[in-house]
Structure 1
Amino acid sequence: MLILGGVPEETKQDILKISGFSERSLPFKYLGMPIQTTRLKKQDSECLVENICARIHSYGARKFSYAGRLVLVKAVLSSMFVLPKGIIAKIEAVCRNFLWDNSTDYRRVPLVAWTTVCKPKEEGGLGIKDQELCNQAMVGRLVNWVAEKRNSIRHAGNTPTGCYEWLKGAGTIVQWFRAVWNDWVVPKHQFMGWLYAHGALRTNDELLMYGLDIDVNCYLCGQAAECMDHVFFGCRYSKQMINWLNQLTALILPDQHILEWCVDRQGSKLQKGVQAAVGMGAIYHIWHQRNCSKNDCVLMVPKRVAEQIVAEIRLRIRRRDENEMTIGDRDWLKNMKFL
């Protein structure tokens, strides 16, 4: 298919005959989007929102974890190009709803603000790019505005990524990001650790603020009002699980301030990674058991939960190349009962 403009008719026919292509004229659709000489309008791009919604609805039939949904949202947003602001807002809304509720409809209050979600991981976000800034970066690269000024987009490398970083600016690094986003940590544990770091896990004391008529007692022990500090630090069930985890691994995981312990971990890169995996695994499974007790009235005994955490970490260790481990690392893993 060829689109020819300003070409004499005789030359045009020669080109079409030699190439064997057919002639088309603007506007036309390519991959579902209109290609035209004028700027795309909101109604021209509605089909893109519909296609994304249809794809997400097909995803929604499956029960993805938060970590799985995050991967899919990044895949959708990474394929964006220059679009009207209204369409960008709609696409972000669809992705936001899918991330938090596995649906394209707004049915649940987001646990963390979208502005925070769109920050880099080292700044406390999920590494999703702000699509409005991406739009500006792509437009800025195309027109190369303020090209001759120092600290301008041109000096940012004249690439969409460089332009985006320049427009976004530098943020504040959070201390816990290396503990949460560690390669040794199971992905769904990473996401739960991220929510925990933001204090975004909705306990009964917070749900009462929304006017819900609920039982305020802890779903794990039933002996005190449920709040973040109690669930992870004060609950008898959580303390028993952490105690079993320490016995099974020879680690000294505290029954309070788990995240701080993960941040302050010592040793080689592998040793720090495994310690972070234990801490994030403890956070994930305590909250998972809390939800199982709340929704299904099922609660696993603390020892079995600790054994499950250790089994998950041993599996990740077995999947690693032994050549990446030093003799000191292998000895440490044996002493910690992971080998």
Structure 2
Amino acid sequence: MVGRLVDWVATQRDSIWVNWVQSNYLKGQEWMEYKPSSNSSWVWRRICKVKEEMRNGYVNGEWSVQPGGYSPAGCYDWFRGTRPRIQWDKAVWNGWTIPKHQFLGWMVAHKALNTVERLVRFGVIIEDKCYLCGIASETIEHLFWTWLNGAILANSTGLEGVQNAIVMSLMYQVWQQRNRSRNEMTLLRPERVAGAILENMRSRVRTREKTVMTLAERDWLIKMRLLE
């Protein structure tokens, strides 16, 4: 937003404020070459700092980053730069996935869970073996990454949303079992873990049953024992 003021001065916008800046600060100097004095106000020095950050976006005094002139959104995109498209958003942020599973999925995607490998890096512990298998190093990739990148589907509605939510529920249960193994040195039998996943999804489907539009979708949910 401060960049808009920078652009007003650069394009010599017809306004009282720009005329005042030209008269009191620039005094005939080129705007892009101007340096504020040390006793200038904080506000003016801030505007000049943003101007320096925007300098490369101007060609012959015109904002060249986007057609149609300056806009805060276009400037923001320019500062941010091009980023690769993420692949996990549909699995995590969809209406079928349970909120606490969404949060775990988001943590996994950003590699922010306190896995053993991460705790070793921070100097909290020494041994980096996985609490579940006791063989491999416990990393995000070891526990989850194949599922997050390979098992998710492209869309977040209907049956694809349900399947993504099942993957997120599975990941949540894996992390729960990992914590149980670490803190209590016990594990639930796979049948009980599968039952917990099934019950979680049944509950979620019941709350969103009206969004299941076709008989084929309903038949699939019944076949998967997610709907009665």
Unaligned residue ranges in structure 1 (runs of 5+): 1-136, 234-255
Q: Corresponding residue for 2:150?
A: 261
Q: Corresponding residue for 1:209?
A: 121
Matched, 1:177 2:94: no
Relative to structure 1, the CA distance from residue 261 to residue 153 in structure 2 (aligned partners, 3 Å threshold; closer, same or farther) is: closer
Q: Corresponding residue for 1:313?
A: 201
What secondary structure does 2:204 align onto?
A: helix
For 2:117, the aligned partner's letter is D
Matched, 1:330 2:218: yes
Q: Corresponding residue for 2:98?
A: 186
Relative to structure 1, the CA distance from residue 151 to residue 269 in structure 2 (aligned partners, 3 Å threshold; closer, same or farther) is: farther
Q: What is the alpha-carbon distance in structure 1 between the residues aligned to residue 215 and residue 180 of structure 2?
A: 41
Relative to structure 1, the CA distance from residue 294 to residue 156 in structure 2 (aligned partners, 3 Å threshold; closer, same or farther) is: farther
For 1:283, the aligned partner's letter is M
Cα contact 1:185–1:274 (8 A) shared by 2:
yes
Q: What is the alpha-carbon distance in structure 2 between the residues aligned to residue 145 and residue 287 of structure 1?
A: 55
Unaligned residue ranges in structure 2 (runs of 5+): 12-60
For 2:135, the aligned partner's letter is A
Cα contact 2:132–2:178 (8 A) shared by 1:
yes
Relative to structure 1, the CA distance from residue 165 to residue 144 in structure 2 (aligned partners, 3 Å threshold; closer, same or farther) is: farther
Q: What is the alpha-carbon distance in structure 2 between the residues aligned to residue 150 and residue 230 of structure 1?
A: 44
Identity among equivalent pairs (%)? 37
Counterpart among 157, 178, 192 of residue 290 in structure 1: 178
Cα contact 1:144–1:154 (8 A) shared by 2:
no
TM-score, with normalisation over the residues of structure 2? Answer: 0.60
Q: What is the alpha-carbon distance in structure 2 between the residues aligned to residue 175 and residue 230 of structure 1?
A: 15
For 2:225, the aligned partner's letter is K
Q: Corresponding residue for 2:166?
A: 278
What secondary structure does 1:257 align onto?
A: helix
Q: Corresponding residue for 1:228?
A: 139
Relative to structure 1, the CA distance from residue 324 to residue 215 in structure 2 (aligned partners, 3 Å threshold; closer, same or farther) is: same
Q: What is the alpha-carbon distance in structure 1 between the residues aligned to residue 101 and residue 120 of structure 2?
A: 27
Cα contact 1:140–1:153 (8 A) shared by 2:
no
Q: Which moved more, 1:302-311 or 1:139-148?
A: 139-148
Q: What is the alpha-carbon distance in structure 1 between the residues aligned to residue 70 and residue 186 of structure 2?
A: 55
For 2:191, the aligned partner's letter is K
Q: Corresponding residue for 1:96?
A: none
User: How many pairs were matched up?
Assistant: 178
Structure with the bigger RCO (C-alpha within 8 Å, sep 6+) is 2
Cα contact 1:203–1:226 (8 A) shared by 2:
no
What secondary structure does 2:194 align onto?
A: helix
Relative to structure 1, the CA distance from residue 230 to residue 140 in structure 2 (aligned partners, 3 Å threshold; closer, same or farther) is: closer
Cα contact 1:145–1:153 (8 A) shared by 2:
no
Residue 202 (structure 1) shift: 3.3
Q: Corresponding residue for 2:23?
A: none
